[in-house]
Structure 1
Amino acid sequence: MEFLLLPANSGNSLIPIQRTPYVCQQRYDGSPFLSYPRRVGKAEAGAALSDLMNYRRSERVNPTPIREQESFVQTWLYFGFIAEFLCANSKEGTPNSLKPEGSQEIIDQLYGMLVVQEGETSYVSLDDNKLNELLAIARSRLPESREALIEHYEHLLNCIAHAHPIFSSLPRDFNHTVKYATAALFELVAQAIRSVMSLLGIPRVFGRDWADGYLNEESKKSMMHHGWCPSDIARAEAKFLSIQAMHVIRMLDKSLPKRDHSQCTDVACNIYQIDMNNYNSAHEEPGCLCKDLVIQPQRLDEILQKEDRVPLLCVTGHIHDLKVKLVESGIDTPYVAISHVWADGLGNPHANSLPRCRLAHLRDLVSAINEQNGSSTEPPLIWLDTLCCPAKDGEGKQKAIEKIRLVYHQAKHVLVLDSGLMAYESKAQGSHEKIVRIFTSGWVRRLWTLQEGALARSLYFQFADEAVSLSGLRKDFGEHANSVRHQILALDSMQEVWRIEGFFKRDQHSIEGDQPSLIVLDQALQFRSVTVASDEPLCIGTLMSLDLSAILAVEPKEERMQKVWELLAAEKGGIPALVIFFEEQRIDARGWRWAPQSLLSVTKSIYQANVRIVRWGEGQLGIPTSLGLKVRFPGFRISVLKYEDGKPRNPWPGLKRIPEAYMHFRDKDTGEWYMVSDKRQAYLNSKWTTDEERLEYNKLELFLLHDIADSDKAMIVMRGEGKLLGVNDALYAFPVSDGMKDDKQTQVSGIAVKTERHIIVNLLDPENGYIYTTIGRLAMELRRHEMTDRHLALFERLKDEVGNSSTVLKERMQENEEFKASIKNLRKKMKAMTASVADVDERFVQAVKNFFGPSLVGDVWVLIQDWFNHGYLGEKVDDEQSWYID
């Protein structure tokens, strides 16, 4: 992985570059890339050349031992793909013996160049020089005609597209470096092809997330050892999608300034959780005894009452004779507004005062920016919230908040002060390192700083030696236009720039709302935080050009987010309907329980945080009503299967119930089977690494899905038609029986429901549905059997003996030898019935193997014993049905 970008400040030699072991047991054969699994017996001989699903299915049924799989993947997807890129392999559809001229020599050269022997260990080494050498070989062997060249690149993109799902299915214990060295290679080649195709006038949109899982536990421990907060690591994983960016992040030292993140989590950084009651402004240097300089709030109030005027600071003198004069801004008054992180000690929630040393240093930093831009304004004019915004609640503070938009837009420059940036020298870092450091800093974790950066016409970031402008960094990246590695990192990191600059249209004197999409808002707010929760609606109001005075007027402050959603809906004609499938905490108020309480938090889920972008982009808009968000989606009414034989629903009391992993229901009209999974449990399951964790969860005996279905009132609201075999977001809900009247007491049509759980609904393909149809048939056959009658009679007898005590009844069932024998006989019968079907029904056997794997085929009988805990019917709700989601 030596060809990946590196930061200059990577802890010197403390963070070693990962080396890729050479694990191949054989060399690549020089034949077509896509059909390699078939040639080595990893896929059926009759499979289509491009059908690598066959290989994945084969791995699920007959998994390859891990070391053998590592060898196979490295031979095929690393060396085989490079050979394909170099035009050294024979083409698809031609005999393997018809290899291109000189191909064997090229493959020999490839192995000789990349495989390095050190002692008894062999490594794969691909550094910049070797990469350039490979590119030179590739250029010399490329087709000459434009048509053939395009065909070659399209073929390579097709190879990459087929390789990507292989990576997604690799087991957890697969060698991390082997996997991601190969992924980084694909990422690099894909970007190179995109660049060439663009030059050829045939742009290609080809996005693949190769970095998922790149930061493993070992990497994260190393990062935390070098100053990273766990929450910053989690944010980086959500915000950056390329291996180039993630490698820079992985190697980036953040040990300065010294901070203790031992009590932080991957959700929150304790450093930025400020206790306003115990906040103390910090001096520039430890031990400084200079006195605070105080601004009188009366003078601030006088200026703030004037239209389009804000107070500015004119700082003169040295620390011991420092003076500050308040100046009224004009439309062309040049000043620098400060954007800072309060955790760094430049704030004061109690009074408009700061230590003189901080003000003197601030004056020097602002003067340096003015000099850098050829301005000789002396002394400089400064706006700083700590001194220019009244500290106490009141009309003056409210006016100051309403003018925040004016302050940061009218500023000639906005200067960002963040101790994590100011601890490192700018001139020692490359542009890629600086931009990654900026967008993983504490400044991007705070909400107020987002609007300050978004409103800025000229944005500077202060490092230890100089302030760097964002526009200058973008220019530096432009100078690396021919570097594929910088192109990849630019595509990734410039998304963060877009999340700052994507809110407003600007000209020299005005700033207009650009009606930014909720996608921009959501992506920009994720992983940021505020000390006071009621500040979030104010910041959103500014960013989205909403009526800030209407939001400020809402009391209590805790209800301001409702006003934000109301204003957004009025502005955009509604709220994207897929918001109902968000898993984040909701507003706890009748009619608003569909609405996220905050856009800052990111709930841990089976989905990555960046998946939320899709939900904001759907076309359907929901309409807020007093009953909930009015939307149109397909759905089901779930009912319990009824049996008219006088027997209880579960005719085999005493049989242990299978722990809930999912539940099934059958479409009442079509007979199709659906599987329902709880999102929260699915997330937990994805994180379990041992059977012990799963067993501990099972001990809780939770049946969250079944308990709702057993009510015989459950509703499922689904995204989409449910006709895809992939994941379908859905809600599990109960109907609201309140006469269906809105706030005007008008009768309305539709179904009003209250959400209980967030779920996933999958339509099973016919073969997998056949499993449950067959199991249901066997269960009903045994239900009618005399063994079941005898077992129920025995149960009723024990029940009569112990009375109404369920605890005593349970103990008697566990102790009674006759009852235990009856349970044992039922299980034997279930096994025998399963075996008899397996002997004559090959379709059933094959479906079970494909769905459960070979090790579980013999245990399918346990599904029979649990059948009557899963017997549910789904009655479709009209796709055009209106729902009121609360």
Structure 2
Amino acid sequence: MPTNTSFHDFHKGDNGYTLGEDNARPQRTAIAPVGNPTTRTQFTKFVQRWLYFEVLRAVLGHLHQFDLLHFIRRDTEQNSYITTERLPRYLEDWLDFESSNPAESVARLLQAQLVLDRARRYVFEYCSVSDVHSRPIWPIDDHVALSIMILGETLTSALIKIRRQKHMNIHGWSDNDYSSQGWGYSRLVLQKMRAERWCLKTITMLQGVLRNNTIGLLYALQIPPQEKAEISHLQCTETECKPVAIPSTPGSNIDLQNPEPFHCKECDRRTCKEVQVNSRELNRIIKQGKIPLLRYRHEAGKIDLVEMNASCNKEYVIFSHVWADGYGNKNANAMNKCVLDMFRNLFNDIKSENVIQQSHGRMETPENFWIDTLAIPVETEFDDQRKKAIRKMHDIYTNAKYTIVLDAGLMSVDKGEGYIKPAMSITLSKWMTRLWTLQEAVLSKSLYFNFSDQVYSMDKLEKLFQQEDAPLHSCLAFVSRAYYHGILEKESRRMHGPDSTPEDRITKPAFVANVWKAVQWRRTEHRQHETLALATLLNVDTDSFADSSYIKKKKMIYDGPELQRRMQKLVDLLAARSPCAIPAGIIFVPGPRLEEKGYGWAPRTWLSSKEVEPPDPLALQVKKARLNVPHGLEVWFPGFRLHNLRNKQDLLNDLSEFHFPADRWLSQWYRVIPADEKEPLPHRSRDRSRELAIVAPQLLASNPKEIGLLVAIAREQDGILFVEILHRIYISVEGDAEKIRVWRNDFLAEDFGSLSCGERLSTEQHWCIDGQQDNQPLKSFITNGNGELIKPLSNKNRSFTESFGLRVSNTFHSITKR
């Protein structure tokens, strides 16, 4: 059992091991060396005592009835096991205690926050794994690691709820966002998912969507993904899904790339006929600048076309679907009769629901509908009309009365009771992983999900959230709500709410940033579709991308350069918005970047499947940006200018980390390490005369690592630093007093080694971020939507910096490995 040592001192040497603040390797004090089986058992006990029992004591120990023995049970053979049976009651007592003793409540809650933050950092870095093949840094038992993660996420969720009820939110102390409540991923859970034949790509995407929450993954295991056919995912990787169909009968052939047209379960396929739209009439309506709506006549088995003018003066429903489920059609604008009958039944289901709510004055559900399979031409001869139809898709989605989601997985399961099960089912659905469906969700006024037993509105589902999120001992409702965040429902409410204005529909940096975060975990089978889908969602001109949806065109090859050209065009269109719609924080996001001069800061794809590191740079909406071709993206961020202290031109060569002070008293030191896994800081073989600098989203005031950019300064003019991105980095305030003492002594002894001095720059330092700079004269221009240079920009006043106290030569200053 744990001793009376406090949580913060437990790891400092009196309990078998010593752990430094930034030391992943435990140091032995009184037991066998790390590495043999005995040591693994002993170290597991040490970690369990500290990060499980001492965390419990530190957070709940002030309660009068608290006893650690309540969290241990013994069987008939006196074997000990952890139990959390009494934890829910303890958490309720915690809330009661804080309500009854408000005088010192702030101090207690802040102390609990400090304990959970430190414990989470150790667990996340040393017990968590990134994928099924990884091993945690600490050699502890996987079951113990899982129990610590579950306890930590439960206590963190409870603390946030208690703080919320106490209306306590101290900036810098009690900030918890959607991404900071998970404690990592258990190798045990990931291995279990893989053993149950989950796709590695799906697992990776789910990890990102659930934001490091292992309780969410555990619950997801109870709702396995639904497959229409027997599918093997043994060939899948973390970055690519490579499903292989296993025929149910010998000799049968299942083509996953070209799925068979969808049929209802009750359908008699021998009599079910395909119903086709009159293509000539369809294209006539589109050519006249109108929008074709559809109305199905069940008795006649025909589809009528209904003309709607550009003002969208008719009510209609949109059906949102996944192509792989068989609702698409490459050869003609047609669908099976049984599917159209299903649409008709869904209309009746929604009508029935609205009849119950007719006291609110709601109108009868319209029977006009729109679905891309039937309303966007597919024949080669109507290519121009196809592009015209695509240009209107943003307005079509925005003005629909309802959107009904058709997903094969959801349609094969009952909705279930309450909030958690249906919400997690939606989160796990294939519909949530596709790029095209995002625009339909975000731009829709009202969403309905079609389960096997009922069609259910998201509004109705969300009314259950607060009730099921109330218990302190459960964070499942919050985790299951990942679907809500993933379809940007708050953005949709802003655009479609009763108080919305035309201003709310303008594409702004905040909206673009949220779209990037929602898109990063989605995918599309055809990479050329990415820019078209994004342009439609962001309401910019789709003319340059409309041909990408015509997948039937012969020998259409979308290679790397073509994809980059399209992404560059999308950047130009966003930059041409007034104000510029590019979020400044996009320079910090992970993934490959564009290669074209002036665009080296921009992501090559938004489908990165990579997490955004804290602090969320895309949440810094007060920061502005503007595109300045060919010089790059102009942004205003704080940072450091690095000065080498050795009169020597060395390369930054395969360095794993470096450190620098930022004041003349040598009291505050910073640590820099690569942010992208398994990549050392780069070998810079270009111009050796360039200085180095660091661009940071915000001024660091705490120890946890934060994202930043290591850049090389190409030149400086009028206070603007023109820089080339070398590497994404983590930068943190060094908290190890012993390390600081050694570095200070080296610095004073002029034994600089890899040490540099950092000159703190203005909080509004003006940067021009490119990735490819040359020495051509500065011409400050911005671009229009076609990438053409237009009006000149006036030079801003030269920014001031806080001097380090030492000025060194402007010749090249680098960092060398010590």
TM-score (norm 2): 0.72
Structure 2 equivalent of residue 595 of structure 1: 602
SS, match of residue 682 in structure 2: helix
User: What is the identity, as a one-letter code, of the residue corresponding to 1:228?
Assistant: W
Q: Is the aligned partner of 1:561 residue 2:550?
A: no
Alignment of 1:823-842 (within 5 A): none
Corresponding residue SS for 1:310: strand
What is the 5 A alignment of 1:463-474? 463-474=451-462
Q: Distance in 2 between matches of 1:752 and 1:36?
A: 48
Match runs of 1:303-314 below 5 Å: 303-306=285-288, 309-314=291-296
Is residue 2:593 matched to residue 1:586? yes
Partner of 2:685, secondary structure, is helix
The question of whether the paired residues in 1 share the 8 Å contact of 2:435 and 2:524 is answered with yes
Q: Report the Cα distance in structure 2 between the residues aligned to 1:370 and 1:550, rounded to whole angstroms.
A: 40
Q: Using the alignment, how far apart are the partners of 2:591 and 2:74 within structure 1?
A: 50
Over 3 Å counting, the alpha-carbon distance change for 1:253 and 1:61 in structure 2 is same
Contact 1:730–1:758 (CA<8 Å) still a contact in 2?
Answer: yes
Q: 1:398 aligns with which of 376, 381, 387?
A: 387
Provide the C-alpha distance between the structure 2 equivalents of 1:615 and 1:406, rounded to a whole number of angstroms.
27
**Is 1:184–1:210's contact at 8 Å kept on the other side of the alignment?**
no
Aligned residues: percent identity? Answer: 21
Q: Which moved more, 1:505-514 or 1:539-548?
A: 505-514
Alignment counterpart, residue 292 of structure 1, candidates 248, 255, 274: 274
Contact kept, 8 Å, 1:239 with 1:610, in 2: the verdict is no
8 A contact 2:320–2:405 mirrored in 1 = yes
Matched, 1:233 2:203: yes
**Deviations 1:221-253 (Å, cap 9, x if unpaired)?**
322444532222112211213444232124332
Call closer, same or farther: CA 1:505–1:271 in 2, change over 3 Å: farther
Contact 1:752 1:884 in 2 (8 A): yes
Of 253-262 and 382-391, more deviation after overlay is shown by 253-262
CA distance, structure 1, for counterparts of residue 742 and residue 756 of structure 2? 17
The Cα of 1:441 is off from its aligned counterpart by 1.5
Aligned with 1:337: secondary structure? strand
The alpha-carbon distance between structure 1 residues 209 and 254, as it changes in their structure 2 partners (threshold 3 A), is same
Kept after mapping to 2: 8 A contact 1:315/1:379: no
Residue 450 of structure 1, CA deviation: 0.6
Contact 2:285–2:291 at 8 Å: present in 1 too? yes
1:196 matched residue in structure 2? 162
Are residues 1:246 and 2:217 paired? yes
Q: 2:112 aligns with which of 156, 159, 162?
A: 156
Q: Specify which of 647, 655, 662 is matched with residue 656 of structure 2.
A: 662
Q: Could you tell me how far 1:759 is from its partner in structure 2? A: 4.9
User: Rg: which structure is higher?
Assistant: 1
1:59-138 paired onto structure 2 within 5 Å: 59=26, 65-87=39-61, 107=67, 110-111=68-69, 114-117=72-75, 119=77, 121-127=79-85, 130-135=86-91
- Tell me if the contact between 1:577 and 1:620 (Cα under 8 Å) persists in the aligned partners: yes
1:225–1:364 distance in 2 versus 1, CA, 3 Å:
farther
Give the deviation of 1:339 after TM superposition: 0.2
Residues 643-662 of structure 1: CA deviation (Å, up to 9, x unaligned): 9xxxxx99xxxxxxx99453
* RMSD, aligned CA: 4.7
Decide which of 288, 293, 304 is 1:325's aligned counterpart.
304
Instruction: Letter of the 1:230 partner, please give it.
Output: L
Match of 2:140 among 145, 151, 174: 174
- Deviates further, 140-149 or 228-237: 140-149
Secondary structure in 2 aligned to 1:415? strand
Q: After superposing the two structures, state which structure 1 stretch, 268-277 or 250-259, moved more.
A: 268-277
1:629 maps to which of 621, 626, 633: 633
Q: Would the alpha carbon gap of residues 70 and 707 (structure 1) be closer, same or farther in structure 2, given more than 3 Å must change?
A: same
Write out per-residue CA displacement over residues 107-132 of structure 1, whole angstroms, 9 at most, x where no aligned residue.
2xx525632326574321223xx334
* Cα distance in 1, alignment partners of residues 45 and 118 from structure 2: 19
Q: Take 1:601 and 1:251, find their aligned partners in 2: how far apart are those partners?
A: 28
Q: Which runs of 5+ in 2 are unaligned?
A: 127-136, 246-253, 549-557, 772-818
Post-superposition shift, 1:513?
A: 0.7
**Could you tell me which residue of structure 2 aligns to residue 366 of structure 1?**
347
Choose from 275, 281, 286 the match for 2:261: 281
Is the 1:30–1:80 Cα contact (8 Å) retained in structure 2? no
Number of residue pairs the alignment of both structures matches:
694
Which amino acid in structure 1 is aligned with residue 389 of structure 2?
Answer: A
Q: Distance in 2 between matches of 1:238 and 1:152?
A: 32
> What SS class does the counterpart of residue 529 from structure 1 fall into?
coil
Structure 1 residues 293, 75: closer, same or farther in 2, change over 3 A? same
CA distance, structure 2, for counterparts of residue 389 and residue 748 of structure 1: 52
Provide Cα deviations, 1:706-750, integer angstroms capped at 9, x if missing partner: 4537x52455341149988755632455849xxx9xxxxxx9996
Preserved CA contact (<8 Å) 1:86 1:137 = no
1:264 is matched with 236
In the alignment, the residues of structure 2 paired with residue 500 and residue 337 of structure 1 have an alpha-carbon distance, to the nearest angstrom, of 17
Q: Paired residue for 2:324, among 343, 367, 378?
A: 343
Distance 1:728 1:135 in 2: 35
**CA spacing shift, 1:141–1:451, aligned 2, 3 Å:** closer
Q: Is the 8 A contact 1:634 1:881 kept in 2?
A: no
Distance 1:295 1:308, change over 3 A: closer
Kept in 2, the 8 Å contact 1:638–1:713? The answer is no
Q: Unmatched 5+ residue regions in structure 1?
A: 1-26, 45-51, 90-99, 644-648, 651-657, 686-702, 741-746, 779-866
Distance in 1 of aligned mates of 2:255 and 2:616:
33
Give the Cα separation in 1 of the matches to 2:656 and 2:479.
39
Q: Given residue 123 of structure 1, which amino acid in structure 2 is its aligned partner?
A: Y
Letter of the 1:623 partner, please give it. Answer: R
Partner of 2:320: helix, strand, or coil?
Answer: strand
Between the aligned partners of 2:566 and 2:95, the Cα distance in structure 1 is 61
Instruction: Return the alpha-carbon distance in structure 2 between the equivalents of residues 480 and 38 of structure 1.
Output: 41
Contact 1:226 1:255 in 2 (8 A): no
Which deviates more from structure 2 when the two are superposed, residues 768-777 or residues 170-179?
768-777
Distance change in 2, residues 1:439/1:524 (3 Å): same
Secondary structure at the residue paired with 1:439?
helix
Aligned partners of 2:48, 2:147: CA distance in 1, in Å? 9
Structure 1 residue 588, shift from structure 2 partner: 3.1
Q: Distance in 2 between matches of 1:34 and 1:872?
A: 31
Cα distance, 1:528 vs. partner?
A: 1.5
Deviation at residue 69 of structure 1 after TM alignment = 3.3
Shift, 1:468, TM fit: 1.8
Further displaced range: 379-388 or 609-618:
609-618
CA distance in structure 2 between the aligned counterparts of 1:502 and 1:271, rounded to whole angstroms: 34
Change (3 A) 1:35 1:481: same
Counterpart Cα distance in 2 of 1:389 and 1:195: 48
Cα distance between partner residues in 2 of 1:877 and 1:35: 34
1-structure distance, mates of 2:580, 2:517 = 21
1:157 is matched by which residue type in structure 2? Q
Distance in 2 (CA, whole Å) between partners of 1:202 and 1:668 is: 34
For the residue of structure 1 that corresponds to 2:576, the secondary structure is helix
Given that residues 713 and 734 in structure 1 are in contact (C-alpha distance below 8 angstroms), is that contact kept between their aligned partners in structure 2? no
Superposition deviation, residue 451 in structure 1? 0.8
Q: Do structure 1's residue 885 and structure 2's residue 770 form an aligned pair? A: yes
Specify the SS of the correspondent of 2:231: coil
1:423 is displaced (CA, Å) by 1.6
**Kept after mapping to 2: 8 A contact 1:291/1:356:** yes
Question: What is the distance in 2 between the residues matched to 1:405 and 1:299?
Answer: 22
Matched, 1:716 2:716: no
> Which one-letter code corresponds to 2:770 in the other structure?
I
The separation in 1 between residues aligned to 2:342 and 2:429, in whole angstroms, is: 21
CA–CA distance in structure 2, aligned partners of residues 379 and 513 of structure 1: 25
Q: Partners of 1:667 and 1:152 in 2: how far apart?
A: 34
TM norm structure 1: 0.67
Q: Which residue identity does 1:293 align to in structure 2?
A: V
- The aligned counterpart of 1:413 is 402
Distance 1:521 1:297, change over 3 A: same
Say whether residues 1:528 and 2:529 are aligned partners: no
Deviation at 1:66? 3.7
